[in-house]
Chain A
Amino acid sequence: MTVQQATEEDIKDRALVDRSTRFPVLFFFTSALAWLFVSTVLGFASALKLRNPGLFEEAVFLQYGRLFPMHMTALVYGWAIQAGIGVLLWLMARLTRYRLSAQEQGGLVVLGHVWNALVAIAVICIGLGFGRSIPWLDMPSWMLPLFLLTYAALTVWVFPMYKNRRSGSVYISEYYLVGAAVWFPWIFITASALIGQEAAPAMAAGAASWFASNLVYFWMAPIALAVAYYIVPKIADRPVHSYGVAKFGFWVLAVLAGWTGFHRFYGGPFAAWIPAASGAAVVFILLAVVATYSNLWCTLRGKTQLWEFSPSLRFTAIGMLFFAGYCGLSALSIFPGVQAKLQFSFFQNGLDVLAVYGFFSMTIFGAMYFIVPRITGCEWPSAGSIRNHFWYSTYGILTLVVCLLVAGLAQGGYLAQPDIPFSTSFLNAGPWVIGSAVAWVLIGFSNLWFFGQMALMFIGKGKKSANPTLIHGGGHGDHDPQHVAEEAVAS
């Protein structure tokens, strides 16, 4: 792939592609953000409940055992998957130069409404006491086929798009996007089919854990990496440093990710090799992380000052840092001595938050900062809001993750000492649980800034300007990296 000057026609063509995705993508983004806010509130409430179990005792649906799964369902299905689908749609259309017809746009928006209705019903059902106590698959079992069908209808167009693409070359991002589209239905069908059969209940529990882990490694990671492999070269105005290394990273992830999941149940009721194989896969996935990192770093080399200006790059870079943190901590946590203490502690919860909120959400925010101005034709209203969003969410997530990880150490250290009374382990984590409640407030605050901006863009009240809104726009004259990159990079 070489960088050529984009011709007039190219730019027009791209704008038409962008415009064709406008309504569905904006719909997915705004409703996903609304769910993110709902899940933040629920996360805050469940952290409060942990600290003070007697709180709102009369309200049945506000018990921790219902609040927490409601929070996770809203976060995973309402926010993560929906925002991911929006990014998938835009990025795939952009890379393959596929223009959505009016019917396709309408259909996607209708399906988006169906998806939102399903998530709302799922969350309400859990609150009313129809949950299943299966992490990330809490919705009542009759809803599973509906979720699957809606997802399939929302993503099936990825295949014709890839097959009939008008642009000549295939980008590494497309690999990741097609991969995510193929793998999700497979893991979802498998987990749904194995859970609830009486034949092998222990393996069913393993399959649930396998599903959650695969949703991270096989769906969120590919989409986040597709974004990174798109945004970084765009902003740096250079092709990806090495396609060989990029492909290596992709296939390492593809080969290994399916083996993860059982490491959560080390020492559980399985043949001992099963959790061990999962643990090994988690360690070797670090190869993919190193490959991706070095590649993105070389792509950006010498242009790191762009971090100062481009919100897309900044969010994506932080998301990628959290990705490395997630993979590294997961790999550390599978070692037997560590597992003995941290398994079943807040540490695992912290890892989940780091995956969904840390790396996936931050990368998706980066993508949104890039996408929304292009599909609406107006720029983000305020650089100050972007800064607020960035710093409050970065600090919020860091605080949350650190609190949960340290809570895990505090709790797990006591859990591993059988002569210490059990409830001490829980009490010992108490202060960190309060810290996590505070962090949810920070995150909620940062989301409000972003949601406000997105709402303005949605109703067309963005800034009408030829120049993109940069984090530090003033005083830098014509320096306009994102804009320049956009103009210069062609297929």
Chain B
Amino acid sequence: MKTPFWKLILGLVVCFAFPWIFLLMMPYVSEAKVAPVGYTAEDEVEGISAYPERSTLRYGSSDYGAQVYAAEGCAYCHTQMVRPTYAGPDMWRYGWGGREADGLARETRPEDYLGESFAHLGYQRLGQDLSNVGHRLTREELHRHLYDPRSFDVDSGMPAYPHLYRTLEDGSIHPTEKADALVDYLLSRRKDAKIPVADTRNRQ
């Protein structure tokens, strides 16, 4: 068996170029080019004018919070991806899909992540999905969760993060800049923005 060098290399490159272009690069470029679709009167949405609105996902120092989230490895136990009902029963978990009372609960779409540096879709689901945790918990509850998770749920498997807090001499506990940023980031997890009626892109 004799194969010329260039023929083998060419074969390897061609085989790989197909998925590289069609599976990866073209969808990447098309996601990068997503154009916002404006809300109309029919949508009855106030405050923001279009979906996706990049600014709505950022909150306080949430950009720094995203770094803390990554550095502490949160994404190894928490997902940020709500599957549509054909793929899994995520939508039936209370609050995962968003504000159910307002009829806004839905699966996550690519547009929901715009403005972040990386979409932490997750690795395992040892903890709750965090796509819409900003709607479920308040700032105080999130701090309590980070400082002592088992005060919240005695069965919780989450490690505590006391190093994100400092205890003053009088015994009071205060969040550091990192904890505040992380909580800002978590509060900005609200991936249930209403899809405009005019948005006909079918994502399912």
Contact = CB atoms under 8 A, between A and B. Distances in A.
Nearest to A262: B23
A63 B24 CA distance: 34
Given A57-B160, A267-B88, A348 B117 contact: no
Interface stretch (A174-182, A298-306, A355-363): A174-182
Contacts of B140: none
Given A204-B118, A340-B89, A131 B71 contact: yes
B19 to A, nearest CB: 3
B74 interface: yes
Contacts of A254: 11-12, 15-16
A211 to B, nearest CB: 10
A258 B8 contact: no
A243 B118 CA distance: 45
Contacts of A50: 126, 157
Contacts of A183: 12, 16
A336 B86 contact: yes
Given A65-B77, A133-B75, A190-B20, A336 B12 contact: no
Contacts of B149: 53
Interface string A132-143: 111100000000
A475 interface: no
A54 B70 contact: no
B110 A202 contact: yes
A68 interface: yes
B77 A272 contact: no
A107 B83 CA distance: 50
A278 B81 CA distance: 18
A108 B200 CA distance: 57
Interface stretch (B26-34, B39-47, B167-175): B26-34
B86 A201 contact: no
A23 to B, nearest CB: 28
B126 to A, nearest CB: 6
Interface string A240-268: 00010000000100110011001001111
Contacts of B203: 269, 271-272
Contacts of A53: 149, 156-160
A182 B9 contact: yes
Contact of A344 (B71, B74, B122): B122
A340 B86 CA distance: 8
A54 B73 contact: no
The size class of the interface chain A forms with chain B is 35 or more
Contacts of A68: 73, 76
Interface stretch (A115-123, A289-297, A414-422): A414-422
Contacts of A169: 1-2
B113 interface: yes
B13 interface: yes
A205 B119 contact: yes
A131 B87 CA distance: 30
Contacts of B86: 267, 336
Interface in A154-185: 159, 162-163, 168-172, 175, 178-179, 182-183
A340 B88 contact: yes
Contact of A205 (B20, B120, B161): B120
B80 to A, nearest CB: 9
Interface stretch (A191-199, A224-232, A445-453, A482-490): A191-199
A199 B160 contact: no
A339 interface: yes
B204 A133 contact: no
B155 interface: yes
Contact of A170 (B1, B72, B124): B1
B121 to A, nearest CB: 5
B163 interface: yes
Given A258-B20, A269-B81, A202 B88 contact: no
B185 interface: no
Contact of A1 (B1, B31, B73): B1
A183 B54 CA distance: 35
Contacts of A131: 70-71, 73
A205 B12 contact: no
A207 B28 contact: yes
Interface string B84-107: 101111001110000000000001
Interface stretch (A34-42, A364-372, A423-431): A423-431
A87 B33 CA distance: 44
A186 B121 contact: no
Given A64-B159, A269-B108, A271-B27, A416 B89 contact: yes
A385 interface: no
Contacts of B160: 53-54, 57
Given A267-B84, A267-B87, A269-B109, A66 B15 contact: no
Contacts of A346: 124
A267 B76 contact: no
Contacts of A64: 73, 76-77, 159
A266 B128 CA distance: 18
Contact of A133 (B8, B70, B81): B70
A348 B3 contact: no
Which of A199, A218, A243, A258 has the most chain B CB atoms inside 10 A of its CB? A258
Contacts of A268: 81, 83, 108, 121
Interface string A61-102: 001111011000000000000000000000000000000000
17 contacts: A57-B160, A60-B163, A65-B73, A68-B76, A133-B70, A182-B13, A205-B120, A207-B28, A267-B87, A269-B110, A269-B119, A339-B87, A340-B89, A418-B92, A422-B93, A423-B153, A427-B155
Interface of A: 1, 49-50, 53-54, 57-58, 60, 63-66, 68-69, 129-135, 159, 162-163, 168-172, 175, 178-179, 182-183, 186, 190, 194-207, 209-210, 218, 243, 251, 254-255, 258-259, 262, 265-272, 274, 277-278, 281, 336, 339-340, 343-346, 348-349, 415-419, 421-427
Interface of B: 1-3, 5, 8-9, 11-13, 15-16, 18-20, 23-24, 27-29, 31-32, 69-77, 79, 81, 83-84, 86-89, 92-94, 107-110, 112-128, 149-150, 153, 155-163, 203-204
What 6 pairs across the A-B complex have the smallest Cβ distances? A65-B73, A267-B87, A267-B83, A258-B19, A418-B92, A200-B31
